Amino acid sequence: MSKDAGPRMAVNLGGITMRNPVNTASGTFGNGEQFEGFYDVGSTLGAITCKGVSAIPWEGNPAPRLAELGGAAILNSVGLQNPGVAGFVGRYGEYLQGLRRKGCAVICQVAGHSLEEYARAMELFEELAPFASGFEINISCPNIAAGGAAMGATPAAAAEVMRTVRPLTTRPIVVKMAPHDVAEIGRALEAEGADALSLINTIPGMSIDVRTRRSRVCRPTAGVSGPAIHAIAVRMVWECARAVKVPICGIGGITCGEDAAEMILAGATAISVGTANLVDPACAARVVEELEQWACDQGVTDINELIGAFEC
Amino acid sequence: MTIQPDSLAGTASATGVHGFEVFSNEAVADGVWRMRCHTPVASLIAPGQFVNVAVPGDSAHILRIPLSFSVAQATSQTLELVYAVVGEGTRRLSCMRVGDTSTMVGPCGNGWALPTHEGRALLVAGGVGLPPIVACARMLAEASVGFDVIVGAQTSAKHVEYLLDELRRLAPDEGCDCARKVLVCTDDGTLGTRGFTTDVMADLIADRPYAQAYTCGPTPMMAGVARLCAKRDIACQASLERMMGCGFGACSCCNVALVAGGYALCCKDGPVFDAREVVW
């Protein structure tokens, strides 16, 4: 390391090499391309996590899909609208390959309604997506009628998804977890060969328009995200990190370097910026800079020294 | 006509985050405000596109506010936004004072397209759908496309009258055979004729041939305009409104159901759509 160099920021998320710990939460970053007008994604971020993709195209939920909750949180029910693996690769494959060339890891998210659908999507990704650095299995989407969160509701159910997809790829598998029982479910996933865990997904919530007595989004329950859930997410990352040995990507209400640093101290190896991408499109790039400044201020030569360095 | 993004005037500039500084922000009617600000977006934005505005000072409401514009002057870098105060976000926007600064994401989306066929255009605006129709009228006037305008509102309001003056200024050739008409109707008859824009439109299109219609306003009104246009085989562009997350196609929250099946995104594929492609 030259004398002018800052701290080493590279991390390894279960075999996914990242130039810095900053990733993006699936569903809040399009597939990266939409952010090129704001900054050079490939030269800046450690990784991006693409929007969830299923074996065949899904329409997603009807409108309205979004409500502002007023307590630094939003409620969404998009329902994993996606063009299917083949459509996704055709539309974004070249762009994502370009991100890899620039040194940004590309994590493709796998969605399904059933074990068979997860397996089919995984097989298609394995065949069609050589640009994927690794995969994130979404067993925690609160906004689809079948599969989604139900697939990750118990340690046994989560383990079964992992057993289904693990033999289908040698590339790293991250599992996106729901915001409950994270220690127990995390251990079950680790035992079945998950390379890393990412948490938390949105917290199930409701918002009722009291005049019309209807939900403010298209389904009775939907996912809450935003700064309001940050403290809950940090706690869950801490609980999970103490229970497993595999690395964790911390997600939930991150808007700045300090929020990201909290996640790292709680035990996260990497972090994802989510809802803040929508409000401040350059947020993830700013978090990269602020996180490096924090590591510098902490006087470490390597950010890895700060993972789980929370003193209780 | 199928609107292809490449054919639209509003796709020239990439969306970015830009600063703005307020130089006037005042109520022009009950619950309707007009903000004028200096911003580089003014020289990038095309009629029918929108900006996604961050209102400072309240960390509880995190989403930006998507707003269409009525006037953009490139030389003076000024943008004029006329907005209804309908919720907490727009209430806070109305509290911004002269000299206050913030950011806006823009230009966003695809705007109005010039007619692809020779012939007259008909503009139909309802309520707070009026500002983007004013921007459309200016686009047509600059392209020397003949047009008439129907403006509907619940009741007489200063913001309608103010923007009507602007429309009449853009339609100066009254008196000749091809006179541009600016027709006004209100639900209660306090301004113009009493009735709905679609009633006025039905009479007008029986009288004059139109090649292209442009509409912005409440969804039931635009649905009525789309139906009348379909019957007469008049091409129709409609500017839709949705609750939006990002404003640039990243979150898929502002979906619009399509006749062909599936969804488009209002922020990226719209807000201006071919009315025949949308499920009303």
Residues of chain B contacting A71 with CB distance shorter than 8 Å: 60
How far apart (Å, rounded) are the C-alpha atoms in residues A269 and A308?
A: 8
pLDDT at B159 (0 to 100): 60
* Boundary (domain end) residue, out of B108, B132, B147: B108
Query: Which residues lie closer than 8 Å to A20 by C-beta, 6 or more apart?
Result: A9, A10, A11, A45, A46, A288, A291, A292, A303
Angle value at C-alpha A268, between A265 and A269, nearest 5 degrees:
110
d(CA A49, CA B80) in angstroms, rounded, equals 38
- A61 vs B contacts (CB less than 8 Å): 255
Residue of B nearest to A28 (CA): B251
The reply to whether B88 touches chain A by the CB within 8 Å rule is: yes
- B101 and B142 fall within a common domain: no
Residue in chain B lying closest to A31 (CA): B250
CATH code, domain with B157: 3.40.50.80
**Domain shared by B12 and B103, yes or no:** yes
* The three-state (H, E, C) secondary structure of A74-115, written as one string: EEECCCCCECHHHHHHHHHHHHHHHHHHCCCEEEEEECCCCH
* Nearest-CA distance A260 → chain B (Å): 18
What is residue B157's predicted lDDT score, i.e. its pLDDT? 67
Shortest CB distance from A65 goes to which of B248, B249, B255? B255
Same domain? For B104 and B128 the reply is no
Q: What is the pLDDT of residues B37-91, one digit of tens each?
A: 999 999 999 999 999 999 998 889 999 999 999 999 999 999 999 898 988 889 9
- Please state the ipTM of this predicted complex: 0.93
Asked whether the beta carbons of residue B243 and residue A30 sit closer than 8 angstroms, the reply is no
Report the alpha-carbon distance of residue A38 to residue A20 in Å, rounded: 19
Residues B51 and B145 both lie in one domain: no
Kindly determine whether residue B248 and residue A34, on different chains, have CB atoms separated by under 8 Å.
yes
Nearest to A161 by CA among A125, A121, A199, A132: A121
pTM: 0.92
pLDDT tens by residue, B175-188: 444 457 888 888 88
* A65–B252 C-beta distance less than 8 A: yes
**Cross-chain CB nearest to B243 (options A57, A64, A278):** A64
Between chains, do A59 and B256 touch, taking CB under 8 Å as contact? no
Number of domains making up chain B: 2
Is residue B103 in some structural domain?
yes
Q: Which residues contact A295 (CB under 8 A, 6 or more apart)?
A: A6, A7, A9, A303, A306
- Verify that B166 and B220 share a domain, yes or no: yes
Ramachandran sector of residue B49 (left: φ over 0; alpha: ψ -120 to 50; beta: rest): beta
Domains in chain A (CATH in brackets) are: 11-61+81-203+226-306 (3.20.20.70)
Confirm or reject contact between A151 and chain B (CB < 8 A). Answer: no
Residue numbers of A annotated as active site = 141
Look at residue B278 and tell me if it is in a domain: no
CATH number at residue B18: 2.40.30.10
Q: What is the pLDDT of residues A220-260, one digit of tens each?
A: 999 999 999 999 999 999 999 999 999 999 999 999 999 99
User: Does B200 fall in a domain?
Assistant: yes
CA–CA dist B50, B27 (Å, integer): 21
Each of the 280 residues of chain B gets a pLDDT tens digit; together they read: 333 333 333 344 689 999 999 999 999 877 889 999 999 999 999 999 999 999 998 889 999 999 999 999 999 999 999 898 988 889 999 999 999 999 999 999 999 999 988 889 999 999 889 899 999 999 998 898 989 999 998 877 666 777 777 777 776 555 444 457 888 888 888 888 899 999 999 999 998 889 999 999 999 999 999 999 999 999 999 999 999 999 999 999 999 999 999 999 999 999 999 999 999 9
Whether residues B129 and B62 fall in one domain: no
Structural domain for B191, as ranges: 121-238
The verdict on A34 touching B (C-beta cutoff 8 Å) is yes
Check whether residue B80 and residue B153 sit in a common domain.
no
Q: Are residues B128 and B231 in the same domain?
A: yes
In a domain, B100, yes or no: yes
